Chains A and B, each alone.
Chain A
Amino acid sequence: MTETHEVRDLQAPHVKWTKYVTVAVVLAVITAIEIGLALLKPLPPELTTALLIGLTLSKAMLVMLFYMHLKYDTRWYSLALVFPLFMVTVLFIIVLIAAANWNIV
């Protein structure tokens, strides 16, 4: 190995454990709101569905940013996710359009 190679940190970023616990509390609160919306049904169904999808994606983002360290790591890891998430979005849009128009049994 030549001497020109720079050094880098291979380890996980050092995040305070209090931040991890804070994220867990936020996740628990969002989950409680989701359960309340689904069980008590205080809002119109379309709005409930939209809110549930939004809250679920927020929880997924929180886990990926703080627990999977995407917020602290190099952006190359995040970039690896862009294309597959785009493909998944396209897939789900196609499926939703198909499911709305076809009588699948």
Chain B
Amino acid sequence: MSTDRDSAADPRAPSLEHAIGFVLRAGVLASSACLAAGLVLSLVVGEQGAALFLLHAGVILLLITPVARVIVSIAQFASVRDWTFTGLTVIVLIELMASAVAALLFNKRL
């Protein structure tokens, strides 16, 4: 039995996995750093000013990371002309945008 796991695998998959791994890792590190700094600062000076800014920046970076991952996936699928999966991933992005629009509407108490 062959244990060569790459011989018959999809040649596109490694580069997509690589790009996705990079985006996810960068997003988590950036948001965790902001959240940690914001939390420590807010315990010292209270939830205001720079502390509050860092906390919200951390939350927004956290929320943006999966969106960025979806955008990277769209670019990767499009670059190999896999239109079925480009289309499916675009639908996912539209759904995420719909949530953001709903959030903005709720925020304005409409």
Q: Do A and B form a real pair? A: no
Query: What is the interface of chain B, defined by CB distance below 8 A to chain A?
Result: none
User: A-side interface residues toward B, CB under 8 Å?
Assistant: none
